[in-house]
Homo-oligomer: A and B are copies of this chain.
Amino acid sequence: MSSFLSSLQKARKSTIALFAIAASSLTLTAPAHAAVTEETAFVFNTFSFLVNGVLVMWMAAGFAMLEAGLVRSKNTAAICLKNIALYSIAGLMFYLVGYNLLYVGVDEGGFIGTFSFFYDSGDTEVALLSAETSTEELITAVTSNGYSVMSDWFFQMVFVAATASIVSGTLAERIKFWPFMLFIAVLTAIIYPIQASWSWGGGWLTELGFSDFAGSSIVHSVGGWAALSGAIVLGPRKGKFSADGRVKPIPGSNLPLATLGTFILWMGWFGFNGGSQLALGSAADAVAMAIVFVNTNIAASAGVVVAMILTQLLYKKIDLTMALNGALAGLVAITAGPDVSHAYMAIIIGGIGGAIVVFAVPLLDSLQIDDVVGAIPVHLCAGIWGTLAVGIFGSGTFVSQLTGIIAIGAFTIICSTGLWLLLKMTVGIRVSEEEEYNGLDVSELGLEAYPEFGRGSQKLV
């Protein structure tokens, strides 16, 4: 079985250049009426980054609503705050140093980009905007890049924000606000960019043939590993596991909000995977993006259906939260290879993602790892599966995929665990028992998310 697009896309950044060259050389031979001109392709590529990037930005709201719906009401305002704060900090950090570490000056086969501050439009783009009248040379100089540099920055920035969003759900209801934000700042400034430079920046994993179209590993597993190491260092919520090892279910307080969050994430994922085609300026790119959209949708649908059927068979009830996480697991699973050539492959990949969630959630519980929203099963477990699936259905080899998974995982675990431990030993990462009992809304924010509802939500453990 083969993948259409992966062979065209070795490194996430260099792809456009390849396409640009292809398009450009094409126009020399093709009649003018048939081809996309270079400037038109530039506009398409740029607009694709912006439109798809907005959809990915919207996923920040999806994570916020999903997590707000799955925590108890006494921690709802706190998780809302964390989500808007982490999105903000991720963007600032990526501007400060992250983008440069990921994309600027990564050696062929290298391990890291450049440590330098800020990233703004290049000289030619500035010149084009400042020019009284644009010369053809200036336009050619700008358009030969394939896309506007800041549109690419925007699209990549929302990806690092998604990575950060994954972590907040797992660690909800007990982590201190500011230490968590310090972790997010380092994650988005340093950890994420360095490992992503290995593949999307054109580093050593690209050399190896590792293929991760939109980031099953690079985004989702990294978020999952950071969440897992945090969950272990932080420990479970009070009362989640009894002394004799029994698991106490702690139901989410607002399931329609969690449903809304899932739909938002599903919607945003079209931008996440579709935009990762990284170009729209040719018929081939448009065809590829359409296939990616369809596979993305089909995989999520399969994840829902498999999770529903399994929970019906196993528990005689269909757990809504499992169906929602089934959708997300299907989406995570297809993310490494949404360019598979037939949609039935997407059904298989997404369906297995849905099954993974159903089995990984109780497994985590049995390990006494407390993941409030199920982010580890969804983003880590299904992310690993999706990355491996490219070795089966797509163009990657199983060995290169496994190498990437292990390398990215090891790096993220080591950095994250070290950072969590450092924070724990210095500023502390966990609120007091009393604060946890009263809820983070009252303790850290001094307010309630739903002051008029309920039977005293902060009284519930």
Chain A residues proximal to chain B, CB less than 8 Å = 2, 4-5, 22, 26-40, 42-44, 46-51, 53-55, 57-58, 60-61, 64-65, 68-69, 72-73, 76-78, 80-81, 83-85, 87-89, 91-92, 95, 118-121, 125-126, 128-130, 133-134, 136, 139-140, 142-143, 148-151, 153-154, 157, 177-178, 251-257, 259-260, 262-264, 266-267, 270-271, 274, 280-291, 293-294, 297-298, 300-302, 304-305, 308, 312, 315, 317-321, 323-324, 327, 341-344, 347, 444-455, 457, 460
12 other contacts beyond A77-B256, A142-B287, A150-B291, with CB at 8 A cut-off? A31-B136, A35-B39, A42-B283, A57-B297, A58-B263, A85-B305, A92-B301, A92-B347, A118-B342, A128-B284, A253-B451, A321-B447
Looking at the complex, which one of B149, B251, B343 makes contact with A118 (CB distance below 8 Å)?
A: B343
A280 to B457, Cβ gap below 8 A?
Answer: no
What are 16 A-B residue pairs whose CB atoms fall within 8 Å in the complex? A29-B136, A32-B32, A34-B139, A34-B140, A37-B37, A47-B289, A54-B270, A54-B271, A89-B301, A89-B305, A126-B341, A150-B290, A150-B294, A317-B447, A452-B455, A452-B457
Q: How many identical chains are in the complex?
A: 3
CB contact under 8 A between A80 and B445, given known A40-B36, A54-B55, A55-B54: no
Given the known interface contacts A134-B26, A298-B91, the answer about A293 and B53 at a Cβ–Cβ threshold of 8 Å is yes
Q: Which residues of B contact A53 (CB under 8 A)?
A: 293
Chain A interface helix/strand/loop/mixed: helix
Neighbouring B residues of A445 by C-beta, 8 Å: 317-320
Which B residues touch A140, using CB under 8 A? 34
Chain B residues positioned under 8 Å from A31 (CB to CB): 136
Closest chain B residue to A286, Cβ basis? B46
Residues of B within 8 A of A315 (CB): 446
A129 with B288, Cβ < 8 A, contacts A34-B143, A84-B304 known:
yes
